[in-house]
């Protein structure tokens, strides 16, 4: 009975998500210049990501067990994950104005999960597409050039870990934006988290031991882009595999708890 109910709800939310996507796409096709601008901005930032790969290829050295081809795969994952993140990122940014100006009132009264509605309503296809396409190309190139196995286990495992990584990204990077329920300007917080995200521009292996530990267990940014790649290489230990699944779940529940606490704290902006 409960399972049935869960599945029904799940279906409803998926359908809603589809509707959000449709409306976002329609509005972006209406304002095409903005759509093109989104693509262009992401292409610009991608240049920075790619130049790191160029430096590694130029130096032509392995970083630990990673050849430049592996690094291309890792940066490809990073680019693709950036695309997924940017897909719903506009919602995180507009959260603070919703709270400040009381626009949240309108959403609270609707018969769906408030968090779902507020954090996944507007989707940016321009930024998503640019990163997704480039990321996939780099992943395929890196995978092939590094001679990594293409079989059912590696591909399905890779996709599964990417899904886990998406849940982790969403949860982990939502938390700092929730601070807007308590403080007025979150631009600084947003900038800092963005900078944290950029640490993934290089595989975790270049960082020191302690930084790797912090980035894996305390602020698990490295889990997002390194674990899928390490898995394909057969370098992800069983313990880490468990953490790859546990971390997203854990952080999702933390984000959920912070969200509930934040909404309880919300007192509309109007008098």
Partner 1 sequence: MNPYRCVFQMGMEKSLEYRANFFLSLLSTVFQIIMQVFLWNYLYGNSDAGAVTGYTYSQIMVYTLLAAMVSKLVSTGFEYEVNEDIKNGGLNKYLVRPVHYMSYRYFSFLGEKIPQLMLLLLIAAALVTFSVLRLGLVLSIGRILVFLAALVLGITLNFFLFYCVALISFWLTDVNLMFGTVSVVIVVISGGIFPMDIFGEKFAFVMGLLPFGYTTQFPSNIINGRFDTVQIATGLLCQLFWIVLLFFAGKVMWKRGLHRFAAVGG
Among 175, 196, 240, 241, binds partner 1 (CB under 8 A): 196
51-90 footprint of partner 1 as x/- string (CB under 8 A): xx-xx--xxxx-x---------------------------
208 contacts partner 1 (rule: CB under 8 A): yes
- Count of Cβ atoms closer than 10 Å to residue 99 Cβ: 23
Name residues whose C-beta falls within 8 Å of residue 253's C-beta, 6 or more positions apart in sequence.
Answer: none
- Alpha carbon distance 174, 93 (integer Å): 10
Burial state string for 141-153 with b = 16 or more CB within 10 A and e = fewer than 16? ebbeebebeeeee
**What is the smallest separation between the CB atom of 209 and partner 1, expressed in angstroms?**
12
What do you get for the CA distance between the two ends of the chain, in Å? 44
Choose between 37 and 108: whose C-beta lies nearer to partner 1. 37
Choose between 45 and 266: whose C-beta lies nearer to partner 1. 45
Contact 81, 230 (CB under 8 A): no
Select the span of 117-125, 155-163, 175-183, 198-206 touching partner 1 (CB under 8 A): 198-206
Kind plus residue range of the DSSP H or E element containing 71: helix 68-101
13-52 footprint of partner 1 as x/- string (CB under 8 A): --------------------xx-xx--xx-xxx-xx--xx
266 contacts partner 1 (rule: CB under 8 A): no
100-129 footprint of partner 1 as x/- string (CB under 8 A): ------------------------------
Choose between 43 and 250: whose C-beta lies nearer to partner 1. 43
- The phi, psi pair for 202, rounded to 5°, reads -125, 150
Residue 56 C-beta-side C-alpha neighbours within 13 Å: 22
**What is the smallest separation between the CB atom of 2 and partner 1, expressed in angstroms?**
45
Contact 24, 123 (CB under 8 A): yes
Largest CA distance in the chain: 64
- Alpha carbon distance 223, 248 (integer Å): 9
- The phi, psi pair for 66, rounded to 5°, reads -95, 125
202 contacts partner 1 (rule: CB under 8 A): yes
Among 8, 25, 183, 188, binds partner 1 (CB under 8 A): 188
Among 22, 191, 242, 249, binds partner 1 (CB under 8 A): 191
List of residues contacting partner 1 (CB under 8 A): 33-34, 36-37, 40-41, 43-45, 47-48, 51-52, 54-55, 58-61, 63, 187-188, 191-192, 194-196, 198-199, 201-202, 206-208, 211
């Amino acid at each position: 009975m409960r399972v049935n109910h869960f599945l029904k709800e799940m279906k409803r939310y998926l359908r809603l998500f589809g509707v959000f996507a449709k409306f976002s796409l329609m509005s972006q096709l209406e304002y095409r210049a903005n759509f093109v601008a989104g693509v262009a901005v992401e292409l610009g930032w991608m240049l920075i990501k790619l130049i790191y790969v160029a430096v590694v290829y130029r130096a032509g050295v392995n970083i630990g067990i990673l050849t430049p081809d592996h690094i291309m795969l890792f940066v490809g994952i990073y680019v693709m994950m950036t695309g997924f993140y940017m897909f719903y990122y506009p919602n995180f940014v507009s959260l603070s104005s919703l709270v400040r100006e009381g626009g949240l009132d309108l959403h609270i009264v609707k018969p769906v999960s408030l968090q779902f509605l507020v954090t996944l309503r507007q989707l940016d296809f321009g930024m998503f597409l640019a990163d997704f396409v480039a990321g996939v190309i780099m992943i395929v190139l890196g995978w092939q050039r590094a001679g990594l196995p293409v079989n059912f286990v590696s591909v399905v495992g890779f996709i599964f870990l990417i899904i886990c990584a998406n849940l982790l990204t969403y949860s982990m990077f939502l938390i700092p934006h929730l601070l807007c329920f308590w403080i007025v300007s979150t631009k600084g917080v947003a900038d800092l988290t963005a900078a944290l995200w950029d640490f993934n521009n290089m595989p975790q292996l270049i960082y020191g031991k302690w930084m790797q530990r912090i980035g894996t267990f305390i602020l698990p940014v490295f889990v997002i882009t390194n674990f899928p790649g390490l898995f394909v290489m057969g370098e992800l230990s069983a313990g880490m595999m468990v953490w790859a699944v546990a971390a997203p779940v854990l952080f999702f529940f933390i984000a959920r708890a912070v969200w509930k606490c934040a909404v309880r704290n919300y007192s509309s902006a109007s008098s």
